[in-house]
Amino acid sequence: MSYEGVPMTEKGEEKKESGEGFFLSRTKAIVLVVIVILLIIFVGVMAGVFSARKARKDALAEMTTEKPVRATGEGPTSELKPTKEPTGPEPWYKIRLPQNIRPIHYDLYLDPHLEQNTFKGKVSALVEVTKESDYMSYLLIHINDMNVTEAKVHKRDPNAGPNAATPGEEIPSKTFEYPKNDYYVFELTKDLEAGGQYVLVMSYKSTFSSQLNGLYISTYTNEKGETRRKKVLKSRMSDDEFQLKLEEDGEDEKKEQEFVVTRSKAIGLVVFAIVLIIFFAVISGVFSARRARNEALEENAKGGKAPGERPVPTDEPKVTAGTEELTSTAAPMNASTNASGPIFNVTVMTPTAEPVKPWENIRLPQNIRPVHYNVYLDPYLELNTFQGNVSILINITEKSDVMSCILIHIKDMNVTHAKVYKRDANATSNATTPGEEIPSRTFEYSENDYFGFELEKDLEVGAEYVLVMSYKSRFSSQLNGLYISTYTNEKGEPRRLATTKFEPTDARKALPCFDEPAMKATFSTVIVHEKDYKALSNMPVVKQEQLSNGRIESHFMKSVPMSTYLLAFIVCDFEFTNATTGQHKNITLRVWTTPTQVDQTKFALDVGNGIITYYEEYYNLGYPLPKQDMIAIPDFSSGAMENWGLITYRETALLFNEGVSSEANKQRVAVVVSHELAHQWFGNIVSPKWWNDLWMNEGFASFVEYLGVNHTQPDWEMMEQFLLSDLQRVFPLDSLASSHAISVEVDHPKKIKQLFDRISYSKGASIIRMLEGFVGKEKFKEGLSVSIDIFYDTVYYLRKYAYRNAETQDLWNALGEKANMDVKTIMDTWTLQMGFPVVTITRIGDTDKAQAIQKHFLLDPNTNVTVTSQFNYKWYVPLTYVFEGASQDPQTKWMNISSHKVEFTWPKDKWIKGNFKQVGYYRVHYDDDNWKALIQHLENNHTVFSTEDRSSLIDDAFNLARAGYLKYDIALGTLNYLGKETKYVPWKTALNSLGFLKHILSDRPANGNFQRLIRSKVKNLAHQLGWVNKKDDNHIKRYLRSAILRAACSAGDSDCVENATQIFKEWKSGKRAEIDVDLRTLVYYYGISNTGEEEWNWLYEKFLNTTEASEKSKLMYALAASRETWILNKYLGYSLDSSKIRSQDAVSVISYVASNPVGKYLAWTFVQNNWKALFDMFSTSTFRLTSLTNSVTQFSTEADLEQMKAFFDRSEAGTSENARKQAIEGTKANIEWLKTYEEIITTWLENYVSS
């Protein structure tokens, strides 16, 4: 409280005003002169300091391209700025103070200056540590908007009186601020003692608060109308001069001599002082800058420290290796030391100039190889955190340029302890037993996800070392690394599980590791979990131990040598069904899911059982592990992941509920299980050396999956379905100039993840299928593993490289040796350049000779291909062909890259059909006469051609017409025979081929006649198949019924649409108990499309309440069928709310809306407006951003193209970079197609309808 009124003397007497004039005592005058001199000196020094700093920085900028990292804070304080919020469970991330440190007493000294709007102060706070905690080396105290100028921690003086905040022994500390929670943090060099008392001594400065809280200024107006805020001396101004009387207090109250200063003199003195200050500042700055620049240049010439280094406060324990600071030229470092030993610090590294340091390379040094890991993982599911430690035995295989540095991958984790030891000479084989410690300092280089050790002495070639590291982290917020998945149990309670997905580069999020596929090692794993949970990993559990806190340690068998991306850790409360499998019945097969869905695992168990036994025979190599677990994860980003011995699946890819799931669901489960089990040999036993050979993993598994399913389900026509699911689906993508080669050099994780696309999977599978075709099935199979001879074994690919890594050429060499062919030369033309050829076969005049010419096939032949090819876009083509009268007796002619054509015999008066069964990865074109002869024979007797050949004729014709090679009336003529076709594959190819016209004509005048065309083609077969599945209908007939009825409804067939809508209404009203499982998708979709808000809300509630994965998928698709834009916009909004739509399904929802003509532009606008949120959700996913981009960019107008390009220019692409290029090229091709062919198609359709 302050007293306001008449100014008073210290004795309380009324202070009288002096007469006119500016009176200044001699003492005050001297003081003012001294102040001016000191001010001049101060400004000069500061100008020199800042000029020197800038000059040094400019000099360094001339020598390096680095950007220095500016340390924050003033005085002793550095601001802690984590790269992600939050990064760990450290106390400053919590809003509440640690509860084990309690204040007892404050000594507070406060010195406010009201007119300057500032205050300063000092506080001594006595605190008591009441109990132990996890962080005994930290003290946290609140501050807000102040500058701490001094901060120390002392033990309390033992001789001080009760509650006296008297400092004793100082405890060395570092300090930093965490302003998000208003914390000032002391990081101590030794732990606090429970029961101990300490004194915090802090000095500080600040300004009064600008708001009415904290320490702030209040004002009022006195009786004279003056604004008052403190006790001030009254001042008064006259015309000629102003006076200010200053008195010094003393016992005698003597009046000193006074000077009278006129206004003009005062102004002159002020100007003189300012000029003097400026002069000294300039001179000081010039000389300081010149000296600093010269020093910086000299320091660099001698090999000085790189700029841009900044210590980051961490909670790591002290390194006890010694007290002297380590030095090395291996890496530029900062490490702090003190009297009690060096503090364990992490230094954030920034890129340096040439020469390139090892941490600036995306690839790990290849001379340091991991041998064995001991992994201890301790997850806390409810707290969303985990901690762990790892001991890694490494071997130094050869000398390198930098032998004093070890790099290991980490990402989004806090390393709390890290040491390097030379391995104990007496340790047993592969044991990670530490021996002599190698003193080291550590650093992080986050750009390449590296944690580095800078060693005091060089590593020795041939020696073994042990890395010991402890760490903490949070579960990943995306569906990769180590993350949390959730489900709801039968009681309606939410349940959590911890699970992993590491491919390609996310094992580093769960443990420090050498996260490259070639860095294979063995693993011994321990996982801690609650008693009512189970732990799963790649190998079986060998023992369990209960800890004192009641948690369980599960110890797993030592693994075989494996890549880090194949590791898996799961903690869950799931249940399983099991079987014994393998040729020798020595493998335990288990299928896991949530307790209420265990009965849905039987089909996957049966399929897996048969396929494992088949693959052991096919590969001629036994399954190498004692068990194979397959588990359905409620939240999973892709279809499945082939972790060795513990395959993780999306629920829809593993669970099949008889009577609820459709035949399509059943086939998906079989195909995905077959694919992942194929990887257990091809990809796991032998893994790629680097990700440029990812296609070998995925392409091979994508081909062999058909063999596995065909073995267990021979009536499913799986080998014919390969054309629909892979070959014909990848052709359009690989017909773009923005496609890419199968094998591409990649470095950055973002680019690695872009390789997980249809080129790697489907093109990879297609060229493997072609290779098997020209090598022969038996030689192909034998070349993969081993050929058994009576006298000796010849070891081929899988056995030769077992538990190691291989490259594409290793596979080619193995197969070439067995087939006695130069497989590498042939296949390089298919893997090292993008695209594929169209082979044009024509008769030479009126002879019995034919010539075949190859050319790079592009959907838009006017596209400029900017990517060069070492083969000039020529291929070694195994051209197969059949003639009329011998349609099942193919002949082969090889086309090479040195000649543009080949010649062969073509009997007169017979048609020719190239690419027998579409085994080759190329298209075939003919002259018009041969096309017409083929079409006529289809109409006369289509069964002369194989199912695959009928399919390929339609597929080639429509795509050749689209690219300008073939007239559209000829292409459309391939559909004339469909009234006689009863096979699923040719029909589905026809519907897919018409899909392009359906899309591009959807908003054009010709759309009505196009829909009439579709209806006329499918109507009879739709009527014949009907709406009821018969008991004797096989799998493939059910597939055909679903496809034909969907085409009819989509084309607006009134009977079809009315039927679907009526069944839906009856089901909703309760008149119909259930809908045929294979027709539910169709009925749900058109039921919603032809009803309103009430039905949509009703179906959405069903979607929320069902726990059956395949049913949920059908409902989710149907909800996108509404014709109400506001409903679709609401549904799009749900995709960003994980309580309504699981994040794994968000892209599917947006894609479904985009496929609805009403929702096409709604989805595109939604994606543009919410790109940041979507990018944050899926930026690390291998598929999702690519899939999203493809689904919402199906455009064919100039306006859409320009808008799309503008959006791409202003938004980050992430893993969708390739997809964006393809979207732009595809849209340009569509625009050109409309210009060229719209009128032609419109006329043809008018003639067709009127005929």
User: Which segments are annotated as binding site for Zn(2+)?
Assistant: 675, 679, 698
- CA-CA distance, 205 to 219, in Å (whole number)? 22
Q: Which residue has the tokens 């993969």?
A: 784
Residue 665 CB neighbour total at 10 angstroms: 23
Max alpha carbon distance in the chain (Å)? 138
- Calpha distance 996→96 (Å, rounded): 60
User: Cα(first)–Cα(last) distance of the chain, in Å?
Assistant: 102
**Which residue among the candidates 676, 705, 717, 1225 is catalytic per the annotation?**
676
> Are the CB atoms for 688 and 1104 separated by under 8 Å?
no
> Which positions ≥6 away from 451 have C-beta within 8 Å?
407, 408, 409, 410, 415, 418, 442, 443, 444, 469, 512
Which helix (H) or strand (E) segment holds residue 611: the answer is helix 602-619
Is there a catalytic annotation at residue 247? no
β-strand partners of 498: 484, 571
Crossing angle, helix 1217-1250 and helix 984-1000, to 10 degrees? 100
> What's the CA gap between 724 and 672, in Å, rounded?
16
Dihedral sign (CA 902, 906, 912, 913): negative
| Whole-angstrom distance, CA of residue 486 vs CA of residue 896 | 55
Residue 165: Cβ-neighbour burial (10 angstroms; 0-12, 13-18, 19+):
buried
Q: Are strands 368-380 and 522-529 parallel, antiparallel or unpaired?
A: parallel
CA–CA dist 988, 724 (Å, integer): 8
**Binding-site residues from annotation:** 675, 679, 698
List CB contacts of 941: < 8 A, sequence separation 6 or more. none
Q: Which residues make Cβ contacts (< 8 Å) with residue 33, sequence separation at least 6?
A: none
Q: Are strands 258-260 and 310-312 parallel, antiparallel or unpaired?
A: unpaired
| Distant-in-sequence contacts of 773-776, Cβ < 8 A, 24+ apart | 773/878, 773/880, 773/919, 773/920, 774/878, 774/892, 775/815, 775/818, 775/819, 775/821, 775/823, 776/819
Classify burial at 198, counting beta carbons within 10 Å of its beta carbon; exposed 0-12, middle 13-18, buried 19 or more: buried
Q: How far apart are CA 992 and CA 1008, in angstroms?
A: 19
Angle between helices 1184-1192 and 1171-1178 (to 10 degrees): 150
* 321: its two tokens: 């290796």
Nearest Cα residue to 408 out of 347, 351, 364, 474: 364
Give the chain's length. Answer: 1251
Exposed / middle / buried, residue 945 (Cβ in 10 Å: 0-12, 13-18, 19+): buried
What is the rounded CA–CA span in Å between residue 1225 and residue 423? Answer: 57
Going by C-alpha positions, the residue among 682, 643, 669, 675 that lies closest to residue 500 is 643
Pairing of strands 77-79, 173-178: parallel
Cis amide bond preceding 504, omega within 30? yes
Ramachandran class of 1052: left when φ > 0, alpha when ψ lies in -120 to 50, beta otherwise:
left
HSE-CB for 402 with a 13 A CA cutoff: 22
* DSSP assignments along 1088-1155, one per residue: HHTS-HHHHHHHHHHHHH---HHHHHHHHHHGGG-S-HHHHHHHHHHTT-TTTS-GGGHHHHHHHHHH
Alpha-carbon gap, residue 447 to 484, rounded angstroms? 26
Which residues are the active-site residues?
676
